[in-house]
Copies of this chain bind each other. A is one copy, B any other.
Amino acid sequence: MSRSDCSIALTGSGGAGAITAGELLLRLAGRQGGYGLMRRSFGPQIRGGEAAALLRFATAPVGCMNDVYDVFLALDWRNAERFGDEIPLGAKSLVLHDPAAGPVPEAIVASGARLLELPLKALAGDLEGGRPNMIALGALAALIGLERASGKTLIEARFVAKGSAIVEASTAAFNAGFTVIETAEDPELATAWRIAWDGDAAGIDERWSLTGNEGCGLGALRGGVRFAAAYPITPASDMLEWLAPRLEQLGGCLLQAEDELASINMVTGASFGGVPAMTATSGPGLSLMLEGMGLAVASETPALVVNVMRGGPSTGIPTKSEQADLDQALHGLHGDAPHLVLGALDHADCVLTTEWATRLAEQLQTVAVVLSDQNLAQSRVLTAAPDYTLPALEGRVEATASDAYERYALTESGVSPMARPGTPGCMYTADGLEHAASGQPSTAAAVHAAQLDKRERKITDHDYGDFWAEIRNYPGDGAPTLALLTWGSTTGAVREAAERLAAKGRAVRVIALRLLAPARPAALAGALAGIDEVLVIEQSHSRQFHRYLRAHYDFDQPLDVLARPGPILFTPGEIVTHIEQETRS
């Protein structure tokens, strides 16, 4: 008996090393040809508090956590109850616990999970410098059928800088844990959680280990970004920290700004100078950038803003995920200020979406907001290397020396050549005041209307090709009549729910919008052909996505909604249950 999927939670108090062990386990599985996903969760203490590594392993790509954890290993029980919400257990779950850590908490016992002792402390005591988290790593590796030998290689690579004593002690601990499971009397331990790593090893070289924040950072670099300015904020800071050294390696730079008012304007200044430029932030920072974004829209200066959503409103829940900055990204600017809003659908899609957004912003001379969220941003996935071909985009249209240069000329596409400072004869003043084609300020009604039209037209008339949404049929018994309409990181759970429904014979279509603004009503109408019921799925209390769809799209079908706030993410099972109970067809 072996399986294709296993979810593991590993918790421990400050310094116990649950996260390190989780990261190594993920890497180990990757080396063995597996796929997987790891989220990290922390208690409120800034550092040194309790931590949880939430892992899922599988033989095929995974895009979300499962409904229930198969294995829960607690290095100790201190504050472990904090993670209760995030670690659902069932009667089939296995809880590995150290008798030395005291009794298993009531709530866990109540789940009906099978409890099994793993004497971490005792085993560690037998080894010099043996750390319980490495024993746990060994035990979990054995449990899910990873190879002992690769554990050793990985530990060496990871701890080599800390000296050979650490490497040896860690390896010994890993081996001890591994042996405990391998030699367990209970035969179930050797088989029940073992994954059939069916050796997709050939593809390992094209396999990436990627966080959403890294994905967005890379997408921006691929799109040509060579300047960034930003102010740190959770959960966007890691993206900035990933970008800073790499921008420098590519001859660009990242400026740490004094605040977000500065960062967005630094971006606009750099872009005015001809260098594709970006910032990254989260809700509170996006709030502060809106005036600056409006300036970039009005002055037609390209700018990329990656917003990594966290729980709101206000400071909210900074370390958790939610999809509730959509309204602000779409409508947060004063005046009529058309711009682009895109949402990344998964980790690898962060690369695609951010690259595309950058190129669109450059070509259309406007602001592109990419919405990611804490869910994607700070989790790590083992995924196929992103493989896509974007629709052709010519890039920023630059002006060449001319006597009659008009920065905001009324062209058919709405895009006017933009002079790079340094170009002789094209001097102009970019302006947030309404302006005539020349750039000269004007309050004339006709000028205002023409420039408003132009700024809208260049965006709505652009041909976005097929990339505006991911549309997939999950065939069951017959063609799908139900469409699941979603966006952003919720797509992961929706896709898996669709697979499960299809496996049960219920065909569904998943439509995940990557391009949120401008709306593409004709394209969506086409994608809904044959559908007679639509379920909108989103992680927002006020149904922001649903409201937006109503405002900008016409539906022939009734719209149902599955919407709730964070911080607990959707699971496939929750969506399947909802569909089985609530949808008509």
Residues of A within 8 A of B (CB): 44, 85, 261, 283-284, 286-288, 290-291, 294-295, 297-299, 311-320, 322, 324-325, 327-328, 330-338, 431-434, 441, 443-446, 448-449, 452-453, 456, 540-542, 544, 547-548, 550-552, 564-568
Contact = CB atoms under 8 A, between A and B. Distances in A.
A50 B334 CA distance: 29
Contacts of A324: 334-336
Contact of A542 (B317, B322, B336): B336
Nearest to A547: B551
A289 B452 CA distance: 25
B312 A542 contact: no
A286 B445 CA distance: 24
Given A312-B294, A445-B568, A331 B334 contact: no
A291 B297 contact: no
A337 B44 CA distance: 23
A338 to B, nearest CB: 7
A435 to B, nearest CB: 10
A359 B541 CA distance: 26
B322 A328 contact: no
Given A297-B314, A336-B544, A445-B565, 13 more contacts: A284-B291, A288-B288, A290-B290, A298-B314, A298-B315, A314-B335, A314-B432, A316-B432, A317-B433, A317-B443, A331-B331, A448-B565, A547-B551
9 contacts: A287-B333, A288-B288, A295-B315, A314-B433, A316-B335, A316-B432, A327-B333, A328-B331, A336-B541
Contact of A335 (B311, B331, B445): B311
Contact of A322 (B332, B335, B433): B335
A550 B551 CA distance: 5
Contact of A287 (B312, B334, B433, B445): B334
Nearest to A259: B261
Given A313-B297, A316-B433, A551-B547, A332 B335 contact: no
Closest 3 CB pairs of A and B: A312-B335, A313-B335, A283-B334
Contacts of A333: 287, 313, 327-328, 332
Nearest to A318: B433
Contacts of A544: 336
A542 B456 contact: yes
Contacts of A291: 284, 287-288, 314
A299 B287 contact: no
A297 to B, nearest CB: 6
Contacts of A331: 327-328, 330-332
B313 A565 contact: no
Nearest to A310: B335
Given A299-B314, A311-B448, A540 B332 contact: no
Contact of A434 (B297, B317, B452): B317
